[in-house]
Homo-oligomer: A and B are copies of this chain.
Amino acid sequence: MTDTEPSEAGVGLSERVAEALRERIISGRLPGGSKLNERELSAELDVSRIPLREALPLLEAEGFIHSEARRGSFVHTFTLRDAVEVFDLRLRLEPFAAQCAALRVAGGASPEDLLASLEFARTGVPGEQASGRNSDLHEEIVRLADHDLLRRLSSLLNGRVRWLFRLTPERDTHGMWEEHAELVHAIAEGRPALAEALAGAHVERGRHASLPHLSGRLPSEPVPRRARKTRSPA
């Protein structure tokens, strides 16, 4: 691959291809509606069509692309409705994750990784986006919940959550950290009901804070026809 760090080794090539495409879509380098030409893309990523074709079904399951038989794959055009749907499901899953995590702590599990993640979210690497640390914290809660099926569903949501966070970088970082701290402490003290309620409140606050920003930036409807080519030359 031309532009990914050589450090990421060990995992399958198709997963790295999927991640590279995910990044291109989230960052907007592959705009909604783009056609993903297999040969073109595999040449650009410097892999054969095999790992590419293994990556596409993964991205389709996550809803980043949709494939039509014999016609190819197209980048999903994210709309305001997609954003609402992300909040809808976070509202159902994150309280459950918080509840599980708190129960695990009450049962003897150590919340030290979670507390470390919270501390890291506060101090943070200066240059780093707040959005990344944000998702990391939620992933840490899911990890602590130790619930395999929840982990799978969350990882399906994760890409979309990253997409949403990147669209709203100006959200009050300090207030956000305080919300997180409250939630993390409820978990670390092993209080499942409180953790569940705080997680729900956290999601709903995020929805309320984000949607006004988003409604101006997102198309309300995907462009009906005429898919744009992948590369518009410099």
Contact = CB atoms under 8 A, between A and B. Distances in A.
Contacts of A50: 50, 53
A223 interface: no
Specify which of A53, A54, A86 lies most central, judged by the most chain B CB atoms within 10 Å of its CB.
A54
Interface stretch (A35-43, A146-154, A172-180, A205-213): A146-154
Given A11-B69, A50-B53, A85-B147, A61 B93 contact: no
Nearest to A89: B149
A148 B82 CA distance: 8
Contacts of A149: 63, 82, 85-86, 88-89, 157, 160
A50 to B, nearest CB: 7
A74 interface: no
A82 to B, nearest CB: 7
A88 B93 CA distance: 10
A15 B130 CA distance: 38
A80 interface: no
Q: How many copies of the shown chain assemble into the complex?
A: 2
A157 B148 CA distance: 12
A150 B160 CA distance: 13
Nearest to A18: B57
Interface residues of A, number: 31
Given A50-B50, A57-B58, A69-B11, A152 B147 contact: no
A51 to B, nearest CB: 9
A127 interface: no
A14 interface: yes
Interface in A91-144: 92-93, 96
22 contacts: A10-B69, A11-B69, A14-B57, A57-B57, A57-B58, A58-B61, A61-B61, A61-B156, A62-B152, A63-B148, A81-B148, A85-B148, A85-B149, A88-B96, A88-B147, A89-B96, A89-B149, A89-B150, A89-B153, A149-B160, A153-B153, A156-B156
Interface of A: 10-12, 14, 50, 53-54, 57-58, 61-63, 69, 81-82, 85-86, 88-89, 92-93, 96, 147-150, 152-153, 156-157, 160
